[in-house]
Amino acid sequence: MAFFSHLAHLIRRVPTAQAGLALGTMGVGLAWAQFWPEQEDVLRPFFTSMGALFLLPVLLKYLLNPSYLLQDLRHPLYGSLLPPLSMSMLVMSDYLSSVYGTHARLLWYPAMTLHVCMGVTFFYFQFRRFKLTNIYPSWFLYPVGAISGTLAGPQLGYTEFALTMALICIGAYFIILPIILYRLCFAGRLPKPARPTLAIMAAPVNLALAAYLQNFHQPDPILTGALAGIAYTMTVFTYLCYPYLMRLPFHPSIAAITFPSVIGAVATERLSAWLAVSFPDWAWLGYMGQAEVFIASMLVLWVLAGYARYYWERIDYLRQRTSDEL
């Protein structure tokens, strides 16, 4: 009984940010499958399964302790790190839709509902006691992260929904971007636990670009150019942040650095594929995408190693306490 009580305690202490590692892992499989399509049947299920294993403890934490979810949604940082939970489920439903077709709706519906409900609840709590210093780059993830639902939308028969949602999320990005930049410039430095969220600056625009190019077969060149320009600017900014962030003591929120790099590689691949047809002189961007997916894979492995050390310390402590009580 002592072991199970300590195990329950360990589940309660699972970092919310671990969902970011799950999302990044699933994204790596998607990225490699785009650049190595002949191995897609191996890459997607392997990385999706691995990401699901990382996601499961986070889901168990909130299923067994529902009050924790409401508690985290009240917090301006921890609540803003919850979207990867639902976004991972949406990316998983994208893969499942390619295998099981419309049966993937069984995961897609709960994931979309969870994402919307968490977003509404989070912003309700934050606007009740609004402070500019409480805004973090991870606040992008609720309004723009909903675009993850458009990845599987067409395969599930929701093409019109996917097109509309993509445009709404892109519009939300352009509204929120100046607010986030204003906070970063004029409201002081981010606290140390929140600094890894700087890497998230590259995620929303790359996700918007990747989803836009997937859902619109004739994308508007001006909008595509605007998204691509901001995407590469934010990607370079994020890369410049990596040396500083990787020197910080390990904190679970460092998982935030994984998905931005992964989705950047996916966006670059889709952009280069479109440019190869419409603007062949820019097709060389595909090589940049290959470099991005390699860097993203290394970052995921680095974060995974950090989490392995993090859990090893806690499991060792759990083992010692169990043996002492026996």
pLDDT in tens, 92-103: 998 898 888 888
- Position 4 scores a pLDDT of 58
Q: pLDDT at position 182, please?
A: 94
| 248 DSSP assignment | S
pLDDT category of residue 26 using cuts at 50, 70 and 90: very high
Q: Token digits for 125?
A: 């709590």
* Single-letter amino acid code for the residue at 249: P
For the chain, domain boundaries: 2-39+47-325
pLDDT value at residue 194: 82
pLDDT at 73: 93
Please give the CATH superfamily to which domain 2-39+47-325 belongs: Voltage-dependent anion channel (1.50.10.150)
Under the banding of pLDDT at 50, 70 and 90, the label for residue 251 is confident
Q: Which two tokens stand for residue 43?
A: 């890459």
Local confidence band at 117 (pLDDT 50, 70, 90 cut-offs): very high
pLDDT of amino acid 21: 92
Q: What is the rounded CA–CA span in Å between residue 326 and residue 308?
A: 27
Residue 2 pLDDT exceeds 80: no
pLDDT value at 58 more than 80:
yes
Band (227; pLDDT cuts 50, 70, 90): very high
* pLDDT tens, residue by residue, 299-325: 999 999 999 988 887 776 666 665 555
256, pLDDT greater than 70 = yes
What's phi and psi for 225, nearest 5 deg? -65, -40
Tell me what the pLDDT averaged over the chain comes to: 87
Radius of gyration of the chain (CA): 19
Mean pLDDT, range 65-79, rounded to an integer? 91
Cβ neighbours of 230 (radius 10 Å): 20
pLDDT of amino acid 7: 63
In terms of Cβ atoms closer than 10 Å to its own Cβ (0-12, 13-18, 19+), residue 235 is buried
pLDDT bucket at 258, cuts 50 / 70 / 90: confident
Written as six digits, the tokens of 301 are: 């492995």
pLDDT of residue 83: 92
Q: How far is CA 286 from CA 140, 214, 280, 291, in A?
A: 27, 16, 11, 9
Tokens representing 135 are: 């805004």
- Between the ranges 36-45, 150-159, 168-177, 251-260, where is the mean pLDDT highest? 168-177
